[in-house]
Structure 1
Amino acid sequence: MTRTVKVAVIGSGLAGLTAAYRIAKTERLGDVQFEVHLFEKASSVGMDSHSVSVEVPGYEGEYRVDVPMRSFQGGYYPQLIALYKHLGVRFREADFTYSFSSLNAGAGHAHQTPQRFMKTTMIYNGQSGLKGVGMPTSLFPPAATGYSPSALAAWAWAYAGFVLSTIFVLIFYLRLVMFSLPLRLNTTPTTPRRQTYRHQLTNALLTLSSKLLPCRPPADTTLREWTVLTTPSSPIARFLSLDTRWQEFVQHVIVPLFSAVCTCGEEMVWELPIEEVLDYVYLTFRTHHYVVSNGVRDVAKRMSSCIPPSRIHLGMPIISLVYSFITGDSAPTVDIHCVGGNVFKGFSHVVMATQANHASRLLQSYLDTVPHKVQDKSQKRHFYMVSRMVDALSEIKYCKSIVVNHTDSTLMPENHHDRRDLNLITFASSPSEETKPLGDEHEELCVPPSYTMATHIVPTPVSTPKSSPEDIPVRVYQTTNPIIAPREDTILSVARLERAVVTVTGKRAVRNFWRAAGDNEDHFGREKREFGSCDDSEEDSGLESDEPSERPFKWGCAASQRSTLGPLQGAGRLASRSLRSRRSMPSLRATNNTRRLQAYREPGIWVCGSYAHSGIPLLEGCVVSARNVVEQGIWPAEGVQEEGEKVRALW
C-alpha cells in the first residue's frame, strides 16, 4: 500500500525552492508518496521577492532588476550551474571589471558632490587578471598638457609609477594565488608508541615542507592573523618595503573585495576564517562570471511549477511549530501554526530553509510545546537534539545589508575612464562601526562607513538602441551598502536584507549540519550514544571540534569536496549509534540501517541554506545543502534511498 509522507519546507529562497523541487519532481518513490508544502511569509516567492521592475527608455516590456545582484562564478558554483542547466535556465558570461576608490570622509556630506573627494586607486579589467589593470586618472599629471619637455617628463614619471605599482600588485596577486593552493600538512602526525626511523624521517620532511611550501594555516586562523603570518620579514623584504606593501595590498584590495562579496563591514572581514577566503580565490581563479539572462524570476517560476499551487502558501508567516503526538500506531508529527489562525497538520519532516536566526526562533517555539515530563527515550533524544540545533543556529552571525536601485551617477568615480561594471568605494581612513554615515538626512539609507559601497552599472536590455551614449538618457545603478546616499529623487527601490557571515565560532557550529566526506569524527554522537542522560551540564556541548588527521598531507578545498550531513540533521535520525556511518552516507543503503531509519518514529527536523555548507554563504551553499537534506536525509529516513538513487542522475 502507498503511504503519504508530508514534508514542510519553510522559506522559498533558493534553498527552499531546491528542496521542494527535489521532492516534488520525484513525488512517488517506491511505496512512498511525498506531499511537499512550501511556506513563505512574503507575498511572492522569496528568491524574487525583492526584485523590481523599472522602465528604460527605448525598451518595450518589463525590465526586471534582480535584488540583490545574482551573479555566480564557474569554479565556485558547480552545483548551481548544473541545476540551471537541468532547469533550462539561460545564463550568459559577464566577466565583471572592478574599480577601487577611496572616499575622503572629511570633505563633505551626502548632499554635496561626492566625486570631489573620491579618488580611484586601482582598476581591474577582469578575467582573473588576463585583461590587466587600468591606469586611474588620479595618477595622471595634473597640469601636463601639450608636448613640452616638462609635460613629457611628467607623463613619463606617471607611467613609471603606474608600472611599478602594477608590478607589485601582480607579485602580490600571484603570491595570494600560491597561498590559496589547497595543501595542508600535518606537522604533528600520530605515531605509534615505538617510533621508528621511518616515522622520524616523515616528521622531519613534513616540518621542512611546512616551511618551504605555501601550506594552508589551521582552519580557525582569521584573515587578520594570516596577514601577520604571511607578511615578509626578511631584511631584504623590509629594505624593499615589501612588508608594508603586502599589508597595504590586503588592506586596500582583499578587504574591500570580500567586504563586497560578503556584504559586511571591514571589522567582520578581518575576522573571516582564512580558509573561506583562500578557497574562494583558488576556486574562482581563471573562471568566468555568469548572470541569468531572464532574471531569477524565471528560475523561481521553473522550480515552483512542479508544486501544486494549493501547496504553495504565500503571505503566510509562521507563528510556531507544535509537536503533535497521537496515541496508537501513528507516529508523532509537526503542526504548523500561521498568522490568521491557519493551521497545517501532519508533517513528518520539516525543512528549515530560512535564515539561521529565524530557524532558531521557530525551533525554540517547537521546544516550548514539549510535555513537561518526557519519559519515552526516543522523545527525550529527539528534543535534546532539537535543543542542540537551536544552540548551533544561534552561533551563526548575521549583518544587515541595504540595496538601493537608483539613477544617481554620483555614487561612482567622476571620470568615466575610472568607472567599471562594479565600483567599490571605501573610506580613505579606517572608520569605526560607531561612525555615523555621511548625510544625516539619509541615515536610514546608509550603512556604517566601515562597509564597502559597491555600485553596479546595470546592463541595458539588448533591445535598447545603443548607437551612442546619448540614446540612453537614463542609466540604472544598483548600490549595495551605500555609505553615501543617492539623491532622493533618483531612488527606484530600497531593500533591507540580512546576510550570514562566516566566523570561527559559527564555522564550528555549522559542522553539526555539514561536513566533508571522509570527516568521520563524530564527537557529539560518540558521547551521546546511549542518550541515558541529556543534561546540558555534560562536558561536550555538541559543537564540532577539530582534531588533526592521521594523514601527513591533504589536498583539496572543503567547498568543492563531496559533503555529507552532520550529526544534528534530522534531530536524531542520523546521529544515533545504529545509523551513524564511519565512511559516507551511501552506506545507509544497507537493509538493517534502512529498517532502523523507518523504525525511528520522531519527526525529522532538517536545516539547509547558504550558511549550512562550507565556504562563504552564497547560492552554491543553498543548492548543495538542500539537495543533501533530501537525498541523504529524507529519502533514507523513509526507506526509499535505493529508488532515489535511480532518479538522482537526472540532476
Structure 2
Amino acid sequence: MAALGPKRAVAVIGSGMAGLVTAYLIQQDSKRRYEVEIFEMQEQLSLDSASYTITSEDDLTYRVDVPMRAFDDGFHNNLKRMYDHLGVRYMSPKFIYPLSAISTTDGKKMPPHFIHSSSNHQVPPIRPEGCGYVEWILRTLYLAVCYFWFTACCFLIEPKPATSNDGGESLRHYLKRIRLPRHYTNGYLLPLMSSVTTCSHNELLDFPAIDAVDYARRTYRQSHYTVVGGVQNVQNKISSELSVMLGAMVTKVENVGSKIQVTWTDSKSKEVHSKQFDHVVMAVTPNVVGAIYEPLRKAMSSIPVNQGEAVVHRDRSTVPDCGQLLTRFSAKAHQSLDPTQILHICSNFSATESIHEHPYSVLVTSFPIAPIDPSKIIHRARLTRVLRTPQSRKVVNRIFAENSEHPYPEKEKIWCNGTGNVWLAGAWCWDGMVLLEGCVVSAMRVAESLDVEVPW
C-alpha cells in the first residue's frame, strides 16, 4: 500500500546492529510512510567493520568475526527469530575453555587449572596435564558443587529490587549474600563471565545482579550459535536496500520546531552539512549521544563506557602451555569438518583476556592483558563497551519507562525515549546484559512506536 501523503524523513545515526535493524524495519513499513537515511562516520558499515578477511594456504578467503558474536537460545530470542526471518544460517559449534592464571609478578601464563566445555559436552572434563587424578576429581567435585549452588541461587534467590534511590543490588553484593566461595568467584565465575562482558572483574562486579542472574537463568542448558560465514552475511542482508551516507560524522542533533536538525561533517571534504528530519534515531553509545544531543548530556554521563582492543595475530607464545593432550585434541579438531574450537580464558587478579584459536589458523585475542609480538599482528580493532551499574540501570529504565514502579518527583523527571521524535537504540537500551539481543529489542521498540509492524 502506498503512503497517503509525503513520506516522513527518518535519520538513523550509526550502522551497528541496532542502527541497521532499526533502519531495516522502518524501511520495510508496509504502508511506505518513511524514507530512511543512515549516517555512518566510517567509510564502511560498522556492524562488520572490526572483522578481518584472511586468505588460507589454498587461496580461499575467510571472514574472522571481531568480536566473535555468539548467541544462544533462551536469551537471544528476538535475534534468533530475526535471523530465521532473514534466512541467515547459523551453526552450533562446540567450545573448549581452558582456564589459566596470569602471574602478577612476571606476567607469565600458567598451564590451565581447569578445562571447561560449552554446555558440558565433554564429560568428564578434560584433565589438565600435571594434575593428578585425585586432585582432578576433588577439584571437579568442588566446582560442580559451587556451580550448582550458584545456579540454584539464580533460580531461587532474587536480587534485591530497585528502589527510588538505585537500580537494585549489585552482583558484588549478591555473590556475598549467597555466600558463593571467593575462590570459585575469582578463579572461575568472573573469568568466564568477563569473557562474555569484556570488562574488568571490578566492572563486572558492579553490574546489576539481576543482569547476571537473568542471563544465567535464560542460558542454562541452552545451545550456543554462530553465524555461518560471519556477521558480514547479516550486514549484507539487512543493508542491501538501505540508503547509507558513509564518512558522515554527526556533530549535533537538535530540535528545531517540529523537526530535528542533524549536522554532520564530511570526512573527506571536511564540509559541514545540515538537514532536517521528522524522526531521528541515535543508535550509538551513550558517550556519543551525550556529545551530540544536549538534552541527554547529563544523563548519558552516568552510563560508563570503556575502550578495549581485539587483535588478530599468529603469536603462539601468548597461548598458555596446555600440554600434549590438549595439543593433540586441537590438532584433531582442526581436521574435523565441524571442529571443536578452543577459547583460552586467561586471568590475573583484576581482568581476563580471551584467546580464540580460530579454525582458520589465526588467534583472536580480545582485551589483551599480556603483550603480543608486533611482528605477528595481522589486524587490530578498537572496541567500545557500554557497562552497567545499578545507577546507570536506573537512568536507562527511566528513559525507556521500564520497571518504573517507583514514582519520581517532578524535578527528577528526565528525557524519555521518543521525546521530540528523537529515539535511542543500542545494546545498552534495555534492561538487560549489554549484548546483541538489546540491539534487536530496542530497534523493535522504535519501529513499534512508529506504528511499523515487526515481521518476526
Above 0.5 in TM-score?
yes
Distance in 2 separating the partners of 1:282 and 1:317? 40
Q: Does 1:68 align with 2:60?
A: no
Matched with 1:495 is 381
Matched with 2:450 is 634
**Alpha-carbon distance change, 129 to 250 in structure 1, aligned in 2, over 3 angstroms:** farther
Q: 1:23 aligns with which of 12, 23, 26?
A: 26
Matched with 1:336 is 263
Q: Does 1:609 align with 2:426?
A: yes
Structure 1, residues 433-489: CA drift from partner, whole Å, max 9, x if none?
A: xxxxxxxxxxxxxxxxx32010011123xxxxxxxxxxxxxx201000111122222
Matching residue's letter, 2:203: M
Scaled by the length of structure 1, what TM-score is found?
Answer: 0.63
Q: Helix, strand or coil for the counterpart of 2:130?
A: helix
**How far did residue 523 of structure 1 move?**
2.9
**How far did residue 102 of structure 1 move?**
0.7
Identity of aligned residues (%): 28
Scaled by the length of structure 2, what TM-score is found?
Answer: 0.89
Q: Does 1:486 align with 2:386?
A: no
**Alpha-carbon distance change, 167 to 24 in structure 1, aligned in 2, over 3 angstroms:** same
Query: Pairwise mapping of residues 3-18 of structure 1 onto structure 2 (< 5 A)?
Result: 3-18=6-21
**How far did residue 289 of structure 1 move?**
1.2
Structure 1, residues 192-225: CA drift from partner, whole Å, max 9, x if none?
A: xxxxxxxxxxxxxxxxxxxxx5344335222221
Q: Helix, strand or coil for the counterpart of 1:616?
A: coil
Where do 5+ consecutive residues of structure 1 fail to align?
A: 109-113, 140-157, 182-212, 233-245, 326-330, 365-386, 431-449, 461-474, 529-537, 543-566, 572-602, 636-643
Q: Is the 8 A contact 2:260 2:280 kept in 1?
A: no
Matching residue's letter, 1:523: P
**How far did residue 522 of structure 1 move?**
6.8
**How far did residue 17 of structure 1 move?**
0.3
Distance in 1 separating the partners of 2:325 and 2:173? 37
Distance in 1 separating the partners of 2:113 and 2:205? 21
Q: Which has the higher helix share?
A: 1
**How far did residue 129 of structure 1 move?**
6.2
Q: Helix, strand or coil for the counterpart of 1:425?
A: strand
Matched with 1:176 is 150
Higher relative contact order (CA 8 A, sep 6+): 2
Moved over 6 A (4+): none
Query: Pairwise mapping of residues 417-496 of structure 1 onto structure 2 (< 5 A)?
Result: 417-418=325-326, 421-427=342-348, 430=349, 450-460=350-360, 475-496=361-382
Q: Which has the higher strand share?
A: 2
**How far did residue 391 of structure 1 move?**
2.6
Distance in 2 separating the partners of 1:490 and 1:64? 18
Q: Is the 8 A contact 1:405 1:491 kept in 2?
A: yes
Q: Helix, strand or coil for the counterpart of 1:404?
A: strand
**Alpha-carbon distance change, 400 to 350 in structure 1, aligned in 2, over 3 angstroms:** same
Q: Larger Cα Rg: Structure 1 or Structure 2?
A: 1
Matching residue's letter, 2:252: S
Distance in 2 separating the partners of 1:332 and 1:456? 47
Q: Is the 8 A contact 1:120 1:418 kept in 2?
A: no
**Alpha-carbon distance change, 323 to 615 in structure 1, aligned in 2, over 3 angstroms:** closer
Matched with 1:410 is 317
Q: 1:138 aligns with which of 130, 135, 138?
A: 130
Q: Is the 8 A contact 1:425 1:454 kept in 2?
A: yes
Q: 1:218 aligns with which of 161, 185, 188?
A: 161
Q: Does 1:319 align with 2:251?
A: yes
Distance in 2 separating the partners of 1:102 and 1:335? 49
Distance in 2 separating the partners of 1:496 and 1:256? 21
Matching residue's letter, 2:276: G
Q: Is the 8 A contact 1:94 1:288 kept in 2?
A: no
Q: Is the 8 A contact 2:313 2:378 kept in 1?
A: yes
Matching residue's letter, 1:317: M
Q: Is the 8 A contact 1:510 1:613 kept in 2?
A: yes
Q: Is the 8 A contact 2:253 2:263 kept in 1?
A: yes
Matched with 1:55 is 55
Q: Is the 8 A contact 1:95 1:290 kept in 2?
A: no
**How far did residue 164 of structure 1 move?**
1.3
Q: Is the 8 A contact 2:248 2:264 kept in 1?
A: no
The Cα RMSD (Å) is: 2.1
Distance in 2 separating the partners of 1:619 and 1:416? 37
Query: Pairwise mapping of residues 291-330 of structure 1 onto structure 2 (< 5 A)?
Result: 291-307=226-242, 311-325=243-257
**How far did residue 83 of structure 1 move?**
0.7
Matching residue's letter, 2:173: E
